[in-house]
Structure 1
Amino acid sequence: MMAIIASEMLEHIFSSIHNGIIVIDQHNRIVFLNKAAKKLLHIEHDHWKGKDIRGFIPTTQLPHVVETGESTIGVKVNIAGRACLVNRTPLYCDGKRIGAIAVLQDISEMEHYHQLSKKMETIIEFSTDGIYVVDGNGVTLMVNSAYEKITGFRREELIGRHMEELVGKGYFDQSVSLLVLQQKQRVSILQKIGGKKDVIVTGNPVFNDQGEIDMIVTSVRDISKLNELKMELEKAKSFSQMSQHRYTFSTSDSDEQIICRSPLMKTLIHKVEQIAAYPTTVLLTGPSGVGKEVIANMIHHLSPRKDQPFIKVNCAAIPETLLESELFGYEKGAFTGAQASGKIGLFELADRGTIMLDEIGEMPLSLQVKLLRVLQEKQIQRIGSRHAKKLDIRIIAATNQNLSELIASGKFRSDLYYRLQVIELFIPPLAERPEDIEPLLDHYFTFYCKLYRIHKQLSPRTKAVLQQYHWPGNVRELKNLMESLVVSVPARYIEPDDLPTHIRSQSDTSSCLTLKEKVEQFEKRLVYEAIEKSPSLRKAAERLGIDHSTLIKKLKRWQKTETPRPYSY
């Protein structure tokens, strides 16, 4: 009874198997066919039992297996028009060969999917975008040829390696695949490949039926050439005159800083912060060197236009005959010598941004009329053109001249002056804001020390001399002097004697020094230089030829009137 149940159970098991199973006896007669085999052989009746297998599969090699006892594994054959893989094995009972078993796997569908997979691989391989695929754990599965070409990496270097390892090895500065695994969504980033090539990388997660990431397909597009073209375009827009310092073009933040402590400048900066957001025309006045351009930078970079062009034009630096074509541009063939393609003007170049007209008092009267139209109508007309073009620009004018006197002498139009004077900001000279001298000295001296990697100090007496100086060249003169002192004075500690003669001569401090005080100044310089060159104060004392205790006493006496310095005793 148990044997019958076991036999039925085995028959059910074999019938449930997906692969076809055929069993024949030693006379090549069919003993058993499971459901998958019947389907494969298109058998819908039970008349197969006891029939010769060759009546259903004429080319079968099962009789050969029965005869020889040889097994065959993974043989590809065509059965009833379908591609199959066949395993053939002899059947034994008590050591006697009693038949053979064939196991058939229909691979026709697998062949279809294999062909489809090959087509997809071909499509991916011929994509002009780089394709990079990782599994749900971040391990590289495949890359295409375009990716190899863009990055210079061979697929053999990448496949099978985890993204964290590749980032650690410096292949990428960051991995979009790892970001996708963290965020569970599409992620796009700008990435630097191999530390030199810029690409846009988009990682797309592929989810399985359980909602888990099965793999990530990343597309990579090289934008290095686009960036190069963009840079070339900006250079072209800046024109060849940039090298002649006629004007400058930028959209980035200025590296200039406004350093101030005086109430006058604090009030001015507050005013700038108040008006920067509006497109109102601004007139900057004040003597040369006070920082009108720095204030103009601040206005632009505090405005909504900060990411747009900021063009600075020195009206005094461009010849009168060229100024109009520079500002307004011209059409092709507008005049003899004009570029064949025409030329965009600086006003157009500044569209949606800001233009600074420095030295506005030097602008010819003929151009003042055209500038007035730009201010009134917010449009320009190229030389040789019949059409006006609307512009959205903010105009900042600057001058160190007295425009009222120029108007009185007929050199400047009063109507233009009133158009420019919507907001007038006067930047006072440094002599009128002495509170700003010390922070400016500290800022620029420190700046140039860091820039040139030089360690120096201004002595308190030197600072005192500089604070008493009237600075006719204003901030520009102060800045240039700090750079000069840092690079040209050999001593580490800068004393009043290191200052230019015209500065020392106007200082009461230097003229009041006695012989003893001047000798002490010289002594200080020798001592401090010895300390700088020695690993300890004892070694410095030896270098100077004095006792260690004598050197300590001198330093303690001097430090009562100077900023303390760290020394190694």
Structure 2
Amino acid sequence: MSILPKDSVTIHLWGNIISSMHNGIIVVNSDNEILLMNESAQKLLQVQDEAWKGRNIKALIPNSRMHEVLQGGESSIGEKMVISGRACMVNRTPLYEEGERVGAMAVIQDISEMDHYRTLLKQMESIIEFSTDGIYVVDREGVTMQVNSAYEEITGFRREELIGRRMKDLMTEGYFDQSVSLLVLEQKRRISIIQRIGGKKDVIVTGNPVFDDQGGLEMIVTSVRDITHLNDLRNELEKAHTFSRIQNNRYTIHSGGTEQSVIFHSPQIKKVYEKVRQVAPYPTSILLNGPSGTGKEVMANLIHDLSERKEKPFIQINCGAIPEQLLESELFGYEAGAFTGASRNGKIGLLELADQGTVMLDEIAELPLALQVKLLRVLQEKQLQRIGGTKPRLLDIRIVAATNQDLRKLIQAGKFREDLFYRLAVVEISIPSLAERQEDIVPLVEHYFAYFCRQYRVDKQMSSETKESLKRYHWPGNVRELRNLVENMIVSVPSTMIEPVHLPLHIQDQTRCDDSHSTLKERVSEFERRLIHEVVEKHNSLRKAAEQLGVDHSTLVKKMQRWEKEKGTG
């Protein structure tokens, strides 16, 4: 019995339908012999012409189970099997005519290509997901379709809060300051912009339009790269260049290994030291006051080294050493073209250079009133604006101010702002003069003496009489004067033993005047001793020294022997 339509028009119609189908179609009769096979099935089974007609289907498909459908009369749907080496999905259905089972039809779908595309899709999804750049995809309506893990990590936004949301709404809610996707939707071309994410992080985003076969915009794929780190590196490089320019200039850049040490035996400085240790770990502003040369810079260094900022910059700025017309640009920096003569690249200011570190503002009383206002704003708002700039920059600095003047009197005279004073003097530390702490004089002398001997690679000593003379001196220049004096003696006195006669005359004169037991004979003797020492140091022999002094050689020898003996018994 034939299972094909008998009407020629119907046969032609069914033939066209079956031939045009993408899936393979095979029809067998009740004897499992092939009656019909469309082009897709012929291509799959690699048969030509009509050599297939009347053949048993198992001859072409050995693992065919069409006979089971013919015998049992039940359809088989969605069975996976391999046909001619290709993965296929097969549906089998029995055919009836007038209630009699006359054959069966198989619909074969080649799924090997689908698996291939599915694998490619999975690979593409993996590539997108594991890209180090953030990927953000929106459709032609500006609705978020997909974001990858890198985007989540860069921005801190979760895909669940973005997918399905319109870019305009996300901008309104503050997720982005601007949207490259909306710009691409409008201009239909590739666009790159700098985007601010959540008001915290800078990213560079590039939107790429994707067009369909008809040239219509289908979606926008945006790549996102975090440039915050690059900006940080650029800022650090700018700081490094600025450091190199100002090193050894009128500013002091903190670096370890100097002779700047806190040396003391006196209870006064012990009290100062303990207070410094107590307040240093906190970011509080500190005002150091005391006479010039007492060691305010040393204490400021100590404050920095005892704080959490010790690995960050320490910059000392002498407010009285910079011309007033330059001070503002030096402190606050300026943008490119801010004024005539400005660098075309702009300039980072010293305060900005010290970000996250410590700034010592020495001689703070010399700061002009106009700049006092700007400094107060920096301390209050913790941000700075360069000259000619429009955007404030966040700034985290700790201020240690220092002065040898009475700021309270300057406030009364209208020369210093009271509000700035209270901002600077959250903690006020007074450093006494060296004359008020005589216990520190000899330890400081010994410290600097040893330091300069090491630095200049000389081997010298200082007599106890010299130390005693230095202890009795009033030190109007304080520790700075002491340090300079010790260095002077190390380099200018040829003798290996520094004696009182080697001290500057004004020190000898003062220490003699301070000694109420000193007689005229003793003073004449001291002058004679100093004169003879100076002449002996200039000559290689005592005989030549005696000739210059106009005394007998034996007389000179006796005098020096007597002085040496007095020194040994003294």
Q: Does 1:402 align with 2:410?
A: no
Q: Does 1:300 align with 2:309?
A: no
Q: Does 1:514 align with 2:517?
A: no
Task: Report the equivalent of 1:384.
Answer: 388
Contact 2:358 2:399 in 1 (8 A): yes
**How many angstroms does 1:457 deviate by?**
2.7
**How many angstroms does 1:235 deviate by?**
4.7
From 230, 244, 250, the equivalent of 1:246 is 250
Provide Cα deviations, 1:382-408, integer angstroms capped at 9, x if missing partner.
Answer: 112222121111111111111112111
How many Å separate the matches in 2 of 1:525 and 1:442?
A: 23
How many Å separate the matches in 1 of 2:527 and 2:341?
A: 68
Identify unmatched segments of 5+ residues in structure 2: 1-233, 543-552
Task: Report the equivalent of 2:59.
Answer: none
**How many angstroms does 1:262 deviate by?**
0.4
Q: 1:454 to 1:500 in 2, by over 3 A?
A: same
| TM-score, structure 1 normalization | 0.52
Q: For the aligned residues, what is the CA RMSD?
A: 3.5
1:5-20 equivalences under 5 Å are none
Contact 1:492 1:529 in 2 (8 A): no
How many Å separate the matches in 2 of 1:291 and 1:519?
A: 34
**How many angstroms does 1:320 deviate by?**
1.3
Amino acid at match of 1:329: G
Q: 1:345 to 1:233 in 2, by over 3 A?
A: closer
How many Å separate the matches in 2 of 1:388 and 1:467?
A: 53
Amino acid at match of 2:254: S
Q: 1:526 to 1:316 in 2, by over 3 A?
A: closer
Q: 1:487 to 1:430 in 2, by over 3 A?
A: same
Q: 1:316 to 1:451 in 2, by over 3 A?
A: same
**How many angstroms does 1:323 deviate by?**
1.2
**How many angstroms does 1:492 deviate by?**
2.5
Task: Report the equivalent of 1:375.
Answer: 379
Task: Report the equivalent of 1:53.
Answer: none
Q: Does 1:236 align with 2:235?
A: no
SS in 1 for 2:401: strand
Contact 2:238 2:348 in 1 (8 A): no
Identify unmatched segments of 5+ residues in structure 1: 1-228, 535-543, 562-569
Provide Cα deviations, 1:98-131, integer angstroms capped at 9, x if missing partner.
Answer: xxxxxxxxxxxxxxxxxxxxxxxxxxxxxxxxxx
Q: 1:448 to 1:556 in 2, by over 3 A?
A: same
**How many angstroms does 1:500 deviate by?**
1.6
Q: 1:332 to 1:230 in 2, by over 3 A?
A: closer
How many Å separate the matches in 2 of 1:479 and 1:251?
A: 19
SS in 1 for 2:470: helix
**How many angstroms does 1:231 deviate by?**
11
Identity, % of aligned positions: 53
How many Å separate the matches in 1 of 2:436 and 2:409?
A: 23
Contact 2:288 2:430 in 1 (8 A): yes
Provide Cα deviations, 1:356-377, integer angstroms capped at 9, x if missing partner.
Answer: 1111101110010111111111
| TM-score, structure 2 normalization | 0.51
Task: Report the equivalent of 2:567.
Answer: 558
Task: Report the equivalent of 1:277.
Answer: 281
Structure with higher Rg: it is 2
Provide Cα deviations, 1:480-515, integer angstroms capped at 9, x if missing partner.
Answer: 111111211222332323222221221136754625
Q: Does 1:311 align with 2:315?
A: yes
Task: Report the equivalent of 1:125.
Answer: none
1:461-472 equivalences under 5 Å are 461-472=465-476
**How many angstroms does 1:381 deviate by?**
1.0
Provide Cα deviations, 1:224-278, integer angstroms capped at 9, x if missing partner.
Answer: xxxxx999865512263445x3313235465411111100001101111111111
How many Å separate the matches in 1 of 2:388 and 2:272?
A: 42
Q: 1:464 to 1:512 in 2, by over 3 A?
A: farther
How many Å separate the matches in 1 of 2:255 and 2:531?
A: 51
Amino acid at match of 1:355: V
How many Å separate the matches in 1 of 2:469 and 2:559?
A: 29
SS in 1 for 2:510: coil
Q: 1:462 to 1:500 in 2, by over 3 A?
A: same
1:39-438 equivalences under 5 Å are 235-238=240-243, 240-243=245-248, 245-250=249-254, 252=256, 254-438=258-442
SS in 2 for 1:304: coil
Provide Cα deviations, 1:150-172, integer angstroms capped at 9, x if missing partner.
Answer: xxxxxxxxxxxxxxxxxxxxxxx
Contact 1:249 1:309 in 2 (8 A): yes
Task: Report the equivalent of 1:488.
Answer: 492
How many Å separate the matches in 2 of 1:279 and 1:398?
A: 16
Amino acid at match of 2:296: K
Contact 1:248 1:311 in 2 (8 A): yes
The alignment covers a number of residue pairs equal to: 324
More divergent stretch after superposition (435-444 vs 550-559) = 550-559
How many Å separate the matches in 2 of 1:527 and 1:370?
A: 60
Contact 1:268 1:425 in 2 (8 A): yes
From 447, 451, 459, the equivalent of 1:447 is 451
Q: 1:461 to 1:274 in 2, by over 3 A?
A: same
Provide Cα deviations, 1:55-97, integer angstroms capped at 9, x if missing partner.
Answer: xxxxxxxxxxxxxxxxxxxxxxxxxxxxxxxxxxxxxxxxxxx
